[in-house]
Copies of this chain bind each other. A is one copy, B any other.
Amino acid sequence: MEAKRPARTPQPPYYSVVFTSVREEGDHGYSEMAKEMAELVRSQPGFLGSDECRGADGLGITVAYFDTEENVKAWRANASHTVARNLGRERWYKSYALHVAKVERAYSWERPEDSEQSEESEQPE
């Protein structure tokens, strides 16, 4: 398996969707649905990549990248995603926030295999 690293995104502009949530206690079907949604989003038109994490304090962040605003809206309107969102309010989350934003600049850095320090690279606008 490839080592964990942030999603490789293209040259801006494109869109980011940041979903920040605080979980309720207990699973109540969350893990299964989260796995389904993670697979479903990958098959959406214009999906460019995603990263996610959840800390010990219950706060989690998922960032998904899409090529256009239209494809962000199509994902939001997806029927299975809408069902999951409603279940999220009913069962899984204490609170959440969603931020849809247009990526203007992106930088990335990866440790070189020879361990020399390197500069970060910018994906120019």
Chain A residues in the interface with B (C-beta under 8 A): 3-7, 9, 15-16, 18, 20-22, 24, 51-55, 57-61, 63, 65, 69, 89-90, 93-111, 117-118, 120
Given contacts A63-B61, A93-B109, A106-B100, contact A4 B22 (CB under 8 A): yes
Some 11 contacts from A to B, beta carbons below 8 A apart, are A4-B94, A5-B22, A6-B20, A7-B97, A20-B51, A53-B59, A55-B55, A89-B117, A100-B103, A100-B104, A102-B102
Chain A residues touching B, majority SS:
strand
Given contacts A53-B54, A58-B4, contact A98 B102 (CB under 8 A): no
Copies in the complex: 2
